[in-house]
């Protein structure tokens, strides 16, 4: 698969590096050509500008600060699948600085298939994810492409609904980060699937 990354920070490095190891072709695009070239050389990618990376492949990773995500996404040509891994987090109280970022991106680029994924973990996790880690995917299309890229980093794709549910995924990230910062562990918060729906009472007729 040909993939362009918009951004040359830690998330772009972690995910693009794993994708290259899995055999995908990646172009790293950034506003700073020197930084993009440096990262590309380090992970074995092709360097380019933001515009070149946006047009490079069928899938584009949006890995820029959330406050500029909508504007940068406008560089992506129609027909591409855009993975939004951003979190618009207010670090003062670990709430969302702006709700529904993925939906705002989709409104700005209606001819691009926007998919929310890879936003529940920091870059260090994607460099060496634990076995069986699930990656929720929200989108109205493009699931199979993104699911393949989830498997390429050694994780398990989880269908999380359409793009309208992406705001819930963004809120989940804010909730989890706040718990982690407070010293809590979110892994024990949810029961297994067999116990998820509670007691089923017999119907009374």
Any residues with CB less than 8 A from the CB of 86 and at least 6 apart, and which?
62, 63, 64, 65, 66, 69, 101, 119
Please answer whether residues 167 and 100 qualify as being in contact, where contact means their C-beta atoms are separated by less than 8 angstroms. Answer: yes
When the pLDDT of each residue in the chain is averaged and rounded to a whole number, the result is 95
Cβ(162)–Cβ(140) under 8 Å? yes
Q: Are 93 and 60 in contact (CB under 8 A)?
A: no
Confidence label for 129 from pLDDT (cuts 50, 70 and 90): very high
pTM to 2 decimal places: 0.94
- Residue 201: pLDDT over 80: no
């Amino acid at each position: 698969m040909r993939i362009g990354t918009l951004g040359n920070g830690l998330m772009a490095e972690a995910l693009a590096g794993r994708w290259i190891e899995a055999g995908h072709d990646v172009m790293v695009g950034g506003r700073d050509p020197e930084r993009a070239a440096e990262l590309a050389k380090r992970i074995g990618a092709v360097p380019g500008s933001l515009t070149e990376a946006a047009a490079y492949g069928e899938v584009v990773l949006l890995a820029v600060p959330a406050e500029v995500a909508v504007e940068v996404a406008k560089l992506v040509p129609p027909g591409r699948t855009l993975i939004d891994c951003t979190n618009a987090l207010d670090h003062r109280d670990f709430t969302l600085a702006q709700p529904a970022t993925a939906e705002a991106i989709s409104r700005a680029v209606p001819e691009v298939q926007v998919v929310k994924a890879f936003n529940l973990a920091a870059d260090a996790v994607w460099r060496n994810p634990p076995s069986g880690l699930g990656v929720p995917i929200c989108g109205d299309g493009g699931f199979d492409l993104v699911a393949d890229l989830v498997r390429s980093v050694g994780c398990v794709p989880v269908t999380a609904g359409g793009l309208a549910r992406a705001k819930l995924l963004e809120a989940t990230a804010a909730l989890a980060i706040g718990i982690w910062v407070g010293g809590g562990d979110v892994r024990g918060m949810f029961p297994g699937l067999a116990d998820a729906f509670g007691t089923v009472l017999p119907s009374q007729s």
